[in-house]
Amino acid sequence: MVEGYWHIGNSTLFTEEEKKLIQEKLAAKVNSDGYLLMKSQAERTQLGNKELVIKKMNAAVAKAMMQPKKRKATKPGKIAKEKRLQSKKKEGEKKLTRKKVRIHD
């Protein structure tokens, strides 16, 4: 098994804002000293496990750095509007059948 440690605060690759972002998003994998910890024991050799740990760390940091795309607000299309109105009419008709029948009408 190989354990990989990387101190986020001492890194010169990232700005302070990016370090803070990594620290927040990977909080479950960062210990109290500020080290990102990854483990691997999938391979039979130490060298193979070391490569896997490096890949895991790079993938985790890259995923933490990605920012989700902002949602663009859109309006419902013509078919969607018609479908909604049809379902409302159908529900209304269903409720009309539940009314009591009057003899005098």
Whichever domain contains 31, its CATH number is 3.30.160.20
Which domain does 30 fall in, by range?
2-65
Give CA torsion, residues 99, 100, 104, 105, to 10 deg: 20
Q: Count structural domains, the chain.
A: 1
Q: Is residue 38 part of a domain?
A: yes
pLDDT for residue 101 is more than 80 = no
- Between 98 and 84, name the one with better pLDDT: 84
Mean pLDDT calculated for residue range 23-37: 93
pLDDT for residue 59 is more than 90 = yes
pLDDT digits (tens, 9 = 90+) for 7-21: 999 999 999 999 999
Q: Is residue 17 part of a domain?
A: yes
Q: Is residue 74 part of a domain?
A: no
Nearest to 22 by CA among 69, 61, 67, 66: 61
**Tokens coding 78:** 């013509």
- Between 83 and 98, name the one with better pLDDT: 83
Q: Is residue 29 part of a domain?
A: yes
Q: Is residue 14 part of a domain?
A: yes
Q: Is residue 11 part of a domain?
A: yes
Q: Is residue 57 part of a domain?
A: yes
